[in-house]
Amino acid sequence: MEIKVIKVEKPDDMNFILGQSHFIKTVEDIHEAIVTTAPQLRFGLAFCESSGPALVRYSGNDDGLIELAKKNALNIGAGHSFILFMEKGYPINILNAIKNVPEVCGIFCATANPVEVLVAETETGRGILGVIDGLKTRGIEAEEDIKFRKEFLRKIGYKF
């Protein structure tokens, strides 16, 4: 077995979701979940099929984001994984809808951070072991950090 580190290639501030599913209809079902939950969201989605022709299946409503998803899915190449890039919304807006898609098994990350995907490769195929999501924790928040956090969440409308 060989362990590979695959960097997710994306613009610095772009959010994405990386997850695992189990069936070819994943692409259509996640697409439907997104457009019924957050119709303003622009997205590109790609799914790595792990049987039959083992193709990258894809969908979305933005050609540039679809291309980004296809490129990253092919680089990761781990069976039954999916990657979704988005604009005009955040993972928090659609994450529960995606988790409720019957064939979605789990989510590895939902972030705009730099991410490295740890992939194990054997003679049979590839699987995602986990992700490195962002920076190493530097310490514990102080009073001014708490104040900033609370003010920030209210400024962007997530708290009142």
pLDDT in tens, 97-136: 999 999 999 999 999 999 999 999 999 999 999 999 999 9
Task: Report yes or no on whether pTM surpasses 0.85.
Answer: yes
Rg (CA), the chain: 17
* Sequence-distant (≥ 6) Cβ neighbours of residue 94 within 8 angstroms: 17, 33, 34, 37, 38, 41, 86
Q: What is the pLDDT of residues 9-61, one digit of tens each?
A: 999 999 999 999 998 899 999 999 999 999 999 999 999 999 889 999 999 99
For residue 8, pLDDT over 90 is answered with yes
- DSSP class of residue 87 equals E
148 — pLDDT class (breaks 50, 70, 90): very high
Q: Collapsing DSSP states into helix, strand and coil, what is residue 44?
A: strand
CATH homologous superfamily of 2-155 equals: Ta1353-like (3.40.1520.10)
Instruction: Yes or no: say if 84 and 104 are a contact pair by the CB < 8 Å rule.
Output: no
Q: What is the pLDDT of residue 158?
A: 83
* Cα separation of the two ends of the chain: 50
156 — pLDDT class (breaks 50, 70, 90): confident
